[in-house]
Structure 1
């Protein structure tokens, strides 16, 4: 009887130990997955090289005047000019009104959907037209950004 009790006790302890080991393995597995998975981290390009140049006062003044047109630091402006990057500071500034209209139309369509507007007989037609208009605005803006790229 003591042998059965001892065997049973050892068997239960071994089972619990296996469960603990399996649980630890699982934790380590998911911890490792967490390190591998998730959102891709953005690459932070460090600007670690310094170049100094000499220029005359007049050259410096013209450079400062050109740089003041854009809300950029002087070094960023020079880097963009050097590598012939397009200065996209106010990318959607010209289309700001169009973006606001798109947002307002979206709010209108949500209002028509979520509340009881039984006053309008052609509610579905109005919703359809608003959705078409929103889609046209998005197509226009995204085609413009694709052209700039």
Structure 2
């Protein structure tokens, strides 16, 4: 009888110990997963090569004048020009303006739908034209993003 009790006690203790170890391993797994973070980080290409060049003051002034058109550092501008990358910095400013226009047109349609604006006889026509304009803006912006992909 004592052997059965002792054997049962040992079996129960080992099961509890295994369950405890399994809980700890699970906890450690999720801790490690949390440390790794959710999203993959982009590979950062290190720029470890340095090139120095000599130029005249006139050449430098021309370079600085061309660089001032874009909100870039001089080294970034030179790298983009050297590698023949397109400088489309101002392109996104027009997109932001179009998005703001679309937002304002939506606010105008919400105002026109209000009961107080029933004085307009052609309110439905105005709303229809504004909605068409908003749709055109969205189509233009989405077509640009699809071209870039």
TM-score by length of 1: 0.70
* Counterpart for residue 64 of structure 2: 64
* Counterpart for residue 97 of structure 1: 97
Q: Whole-Å Cα distance in 1 between the matches of residues 108 and 40 of structure 2?
A: 36
Please state how far the C-alpha of 1:33 moved relative to its aligned partner: 5.0
- 1:31-70 equivalence runs, <5 A: 31=31, 38-70=38-70
CA separation of 1:25 and 1:48: change in aligned 2, threshold 3 A: same
Structure 1: give runs of 5+ residues left out of the alignment: none
Please state how far the C-alpha of 1:92 moved relative to its aligned partner: 2.4
Aligned length: 140
Please state how far the C-alpha of 1:21 moved relative to its aligned partner: 2.3
Query: Is 1:141 aligned to 2:141, yes or no?
Result: yes
TM-score by length of 2: 0.70
Q: Deviations over 1:15-59 (max 9, x none)?
A: 101102222333344455557772121121221110000111111
Q: Whole-Å Cα distance in 1 between the matches of residues 106 and 23 of structure 2?
A: 49
Q: Whole-Å Cα distance in 1 between the matches of residues 10 and 107 of structure 2?
A: 68
Q: For the aligned residues, what is the CA RMSD?
A: 3.5
The structure with the greater share of residues assigned to helix is 2
* Counterpart for residue 77 of structure 2: 77
Please state how far the C-alpha of 1:7 moved relative to its aligned partner: 2.3
Q: Deviations over 1:86-143 (max 9, x none)?
A: 112222222433211222355678x69xxxx6889xx9xx69x84x654432220122
Q: Whole-Å Cα distance in 2 between the matches of residues 66 and 144 of structure 1?
A: 26
